[in-house]
A = this chain, B = another copy of it.
Amino acid sequence: MAILVVGSVAFDGIETPSGRVERVLGGAATHFSLAASYFTDVRVIAVVGEDFTAENEAVFTNRGIDTRGIEHTSGKSFFWAGSYLNNLNEAQTLKTELNVFQSFSPKIPVEYQDSEFLFLANIDPVLQADVRAKMPKVKLVCGDTMNYWINDHSENLKKVLKGLDGLLINDTEAKLLAHDTNLVKAADKILAMGPKSLVVKHGEYGATAFFSERSFEKNGTPPSKVFLPFRAPALPLSEVVDPTGAGDSFAGGFFGYIASQKELTPAIFKKAMFYGGVMGSFAVERFGTERLAQLDPKEIEERFALFRELSHLE
């Protein structure tokens, strides 16, 4: 079933120990939708400027992604430049030019109205809330955010959190959002803010899902059931070429797999965590969208099997 994703479609300038690119296609919605496109139909809401070419758009459409919700406007696309030279786990932002995103007002094409899954990628929580309000009938909503919104836009963010089935963030963001340095306590506090489930991404160490008694209520699971957390591995890689978009790719694999299934059970949630790790592991193998734009579905299944072997006793 189709996922609607709202988030940035952008250009990135990136330097890592493996090299440097001046300007490649990037943005949270881009990485998310490419990763999710291997599992289900994806529709994108974003805004781009005059510098967004037919070739850029083809990266989406070649993967069958519906780009009718990408608004073309005058001006320049969102541009971000970052360096991982000192730390592959955390980008040092060198430049952020919001450009066309500064005055973006999301419009939902009529063809997108029947989307059953909604992903609110990392973007101004005001825009996330706006799109959420325009899609009242979606079956499942997950979202992401980042330090900037947690620190300086927390009231707006908290409104978004109330309506989420799942929140996907990293360790630093979780601890910052909860004002707690213990991850288990932080997770409890975040689940009390609204999200029914929380996925904390640990970069090279994988990810942990924390559940509330409401995590699977839409599937008819009794709300009294207590669920253990779940830990999914990441693949030990001898070279991380470009970490940009790894988290968005994780979210795309995770939510794409969930949207491809009939219902959300604990077993499906766990498999989704593995597919998230799988797509994240591909994403970092090349700069920008290069690797995720042209995967063979067979490679995905092979790597899923690898993740299983990497973490399972038998």
Cα distance, A188 to B309, chains bound together (Å): 20
Contact indicator B231/A233 (Cβ below 8 Å)? yes
List B contacts of A183 (CB < 8 A): 204, 236
Helix, strand, loop or mixed for chain A's interface? mixed
A310 close to chain B: CB less than 8 A: yes
- The docked-state distance in angstroms from the alpha carbon of A205 to that of B208 is 9
Minimum CB distance partner of A237 in chain B: B184
A102 at interface by CB-CB < 8 Å: no
A270 to B204, CA, bound (A): 20
Complex CA gap A92/B267 in Å reads: 42
A106 at the interface (CB under 8 A from B): no
Task: Tell me the complex Cα distance, A232–B206, Å.
Answer: 11
CB-defined contacts of A111 to chain B, threshold 8 Å: none
- For A238, give the chain B residue with the smallest CB separation: B184
Residue A296 interfacial (CB < 8 Å): no
Closest approach, in angstroms, between the C-beta of A39 and any C-beta of chain B? 17
Q: How far is it, in angstroms, between the C-alpha of A206 and the C-alpha of B183 when the chains are bound?
A: 14
Determine if B306 and A182 form an interchain contact, defined as CB atoms under 8 angstroms apart. no
Q: How many A residues touch the partner, as a band?
A: 35 or more
Measured in the bound complex, the distance between the Cα atoms of B230 and A205 in whole Å is 12
Partner of A229, one of B202, B206, B310: B310
Q: In the complex, how many angstroms separate the beta carbon of A165 from the nearest chain B beta carbon?
A: 21
Give the residue of B185, B237, B309 whose beta carbon is less than 8 angstroms from that of A228.
Answer: B309
Contacting A311 at CB < 8 Å: which of B181, B182, B230, B238?
Answer: B230
User: Is A68 an interface residue when CB atoms closer than 8 A count as contact?
Assistant: no
A78 at the interface (CB under 8 A from B): no
Contact A270 B237 (CB under 8 A): no
